[in-house]
Amino acid sequence: MYHIKIRESIMIAHSLKDKAFGPAQNKHGATYVVDVIFYSEKLNSVNVVIDIGLAHEILKDVLAPLNYQDLDDVPEFKDKLTTTEFIAKHIHDRVKDAVRNEFSGSIEVVLGETHVASAGYKGE
């Protein structure tokens, strides 16, 4: 299995309005290190998984609407618990849609919250 990994970061604010989240029920900020890994069984016609420059541009475009935003104020997240896992799948789905004509393997998105904790989503 071949893969490439690209990395960006975003800063967000949000609250997780459920007692399961303890103090994170209150408004707080997070800086996510966003890793996107593209997996493929084979290389394309120019012997790459996907063009790294293209992948970076797509990821920057996907992250732009989230960066420096309060996710509680983003209409599509209304009444959603914007957990790290939830946001990872959101990013995954947008990246997957944006690369559909360039890439056919699987994609994994991992959001690093701290140096000791991360969460993510890997699609088929």
pLDDT for residue 58 is more than 90: yes
Q: What is the mean pLDDT of residues 62-81?
A: 96
Question: What pTM value is reported for the model?
Answer: 0.95
Q: How far apart are the two ends of the chain, measured CA to CA in Å?
A: 14
pLDDT for residue 64 is more than 90: yes
The residue segments making up the domain with residue 105 are 2-122
Q: What is the mean pLDDT of residues 21-27?
A: 94
**In angstroms, rounded to a whole number, what is the distance separating the alpha carbons of residues 26 and 104?**
40
- Chain mean pLDDT for the chain: 96
Question: In this structure, are residues 95 and 109 in contact, taking their beta carbons and an 8 Å threshold?
Answer: yes
Give the burial class of 119: count Cβ atoms within 10 A of its Cβ; 0-12 exposed, 13-18 middle, 19 or more buried.
Answer: middle
Q: What confidence category does residue 124 fall into, taking pLDDT thresholds of 50, 70 and 90?
A: confident
User: What digits encode the pLDDT tens for the residues 104-115?
Assistant: 999 999 999 989
pLDDT for residue 55 is more than 90: yes
Q: What is the mean pLDDT of residues 70-87?
A: 96
What is the count of structural domains for the chain?
1
pLDDT for residue 91 is more than 90: yes
Q: What is the domain-level CATH number for residue 115?
A: 3.30.479.10
